[in-house]
Amino acid sequence: MTILNHSFNTPYKTAPFSKIKTEDYLSAFNIAIEKAKAEIDAIASNEEAPNFENTIAALDYSGEELDRISSIFFNLNSAETNDEIQKIAQEVSPLLSEFSNDITLNEALFKRVKAVYNAKSSLDLTTEQNTLLDKKYKGFSRNGANLPEDKKEKLRAIDKELSQLKLKFGEHILAETNRFEMHLTDEAEVSGLPEGAKEAAKQLAESKDKDGWLITLDYPSYIPFMTYADHRALREKLSKAFGRKGFQNDELDNQNIVLKIAQLRFERAQLLGYKTHAHFVLEERMAETPEKVTSFLNELLEKAKPAAKDEFKELEDFAKDLDGIDQLQKWDSGYYSEKLKQKLFDLDDEQLKPYFKLENVVNGAFTVANKLFGLQFEEINTIDKYHEDVLTYKVTDNEGELVSIFYADFFPRAGKRNGAWMTSFKPQMIKDGVNERPHVSIVCNFTKPTKSKPSLLTFNEVTTLFHEFGHALHGMLANTTYPSISGTSVYWDFVELPSQVLENWCYEKEALELFATHYETGEVIPMELIEKIKASATFHEGMQTLRQLSFGLLDMSWHGIDPSNINNVKSHEVEAFGDTNLYPDVAENCMSTSFSHIFQGGYSSGYYSYKWAEVLDADAFEYFKEEGIFNKTVADKFKTYVLSQGGTENPMILYQKFRGQEPKPEALLRRAGLLK
């Protein structure tokens, strides 16, 4: 028995990271799977007649130890991985996939679940219990419980293969990101780069015993170079390196993996009686059908495209006037957009960064959460961390009661994948009369402090931090009975509402004045800069919208059809992007082969949900603005009906309880400046 197979005797039952050895994981998983199997067998073979408590609730509480180990292990595989952990992930994923199939294809167990489900109308269940019962029944039917034996076996094989392919996909992208370096030794090659970015690149070079500057594909290195570097040929080189991840016909190539994943997902959907993978996925979403998603995306496309074309024309003219550029390319996009933005609004990130010291922004997010939801955050050093960079907090309410443990991991490193995300190490639930509080984490990749400067965030990084913190609040404030519908366990096109709505506070004077102070002088951000932030908020919104829509349409093009006839990833993608293209295609680049959201993460057939949730968030924030952005009544309603309810009820019903009406897309178009 490893330390992972015992309940943790630690403060707040937190994970004992420093005591876990990598070699513990495999045996810990095996032991936990056996325990979970025994729990399942006990439910399936129970002599008593099936009822909600002994079957549905028992099933939801089962496998707690296994879930806990999985959370710890797979979170580390994203945030602090190494070859050994990746190897274990490849071994463990099929075991977990197999175990999950053992449950859904267990006939005795399904018989009991079905009996409770069929008696539903006579059971007098709460809304939450009804939702859980539906979810459990669908968990079986949507995963093959009603299939004949031979098809069940086929489903098992598909799931096992998919779990391995998705891991392989992610490993290839991480390896590609880590192996590329652009080593620069001539001062002219870093011309235009802000001092902070240059210093960071110099420090990185020094850490590898090199002279000059080192630029990598990690966002804090990549984004500043693409935005500010004057050297066009080097921007091109970096952009192409970024765009060809998984698309180089070598040992890290993802083209066949993409084709295989799309094909297997389609076969799986067909096996279960669905037309396509998207039809299968969307049955459990607010959007309901691929047709609805496609018409939603196309409706926004129609509204955004004229604005996007105008913006692109303006950018083309600007680049031509400034530097005689005849044909704008993708590697010109960030650079000239930034220059144009500076010209139009007299605003650039370098002006803003001194006001956004990371520690101040974090405290700002905490203050906003305190004013809205009555939360207090206290940094504590008594709990274990998986890396020295991680910060740990105890979160309490106004009565001093524990709400959550919160981990924050802000800087890039070799074992961490790119991007930003929220996750949890322990879910909230009410068990045996005890409200077990969650352990929530956010992971980002912000610029590290240098010898001369603290970590100063771009405005985009500020909104990213607030975004992930919004997800974290959804996890922290969870207050449901059953773990599988707690916190962020909601429909995927609803999950982005708490995160996206919180970004709105970054644009408001009343909120900015709480935390945007100059890191050297302590001066509060000047009003004129706040005005410029607001004025520039809709800058290139048409082009940004087009870009987001293109990703959603690409996702649907892989998952909303029979992909059997697709044999070339690149040409399929070019066709999918057809209506949204502004820039010329780059032949040696491909988006799909590194589109981790849909081929590794959980966003397949769901990428549209960012835009869908934007409609919700714009509508929700209009309500806050009408009543005051720190209005207690509105905040309480948001906490009660959105943040604490998890997936206990249909999200549209929860939204209407909060807002008093269905969301209107006009709010989004108004905010984006796309309503003429």
* DSSP H or E run through 519: none
In 380-433, DSSP assigns E strands to 391-396, 402-409, 421-426, 429-431
How many angstroms separate the CA atoms of 649 and 145, rounded? 24
Which of the residues are catalytic? 468
Which of the 8 DSSP states describes residue 203? H
Closest among 100, 102, 124, 103 to 51, alpha carbons compared:
124
Q: Phi and psi (nearest 5°) for 334? A: -65, -40
DSSP state of 53: I
Q: With beta carbons less than 8 A apart as the criterion, state whether 346 and 339 touch.
A: no
Residues ≥6 apart with Cβ < 8 Å to 475: 404, 422, 424, 428, 438, 440, 487, 488
The tokens describing 395, both together, are 């979160």
Query: Nearest-5° angle of CA 234, CA 238, CA 242?
Result: 165
Task: Check the CA dihedral 195-201-205-211 and report its sign.
Answer: negative
What does the buried/exposed string (b/e) look like for 557-588 if buried means 16 or more CB atoms within 10 Å of the residue's CB? bbbbbebeebeebbebbeebbeebebeeeeee
For the four alpha carbons of 303, 304, 306 and 310, in that order, the dihedral sign comes to positive
Cα separations in angstroms, 432 against 10, 264, 485, 578, 644: 20, 41, 17, 56, 20
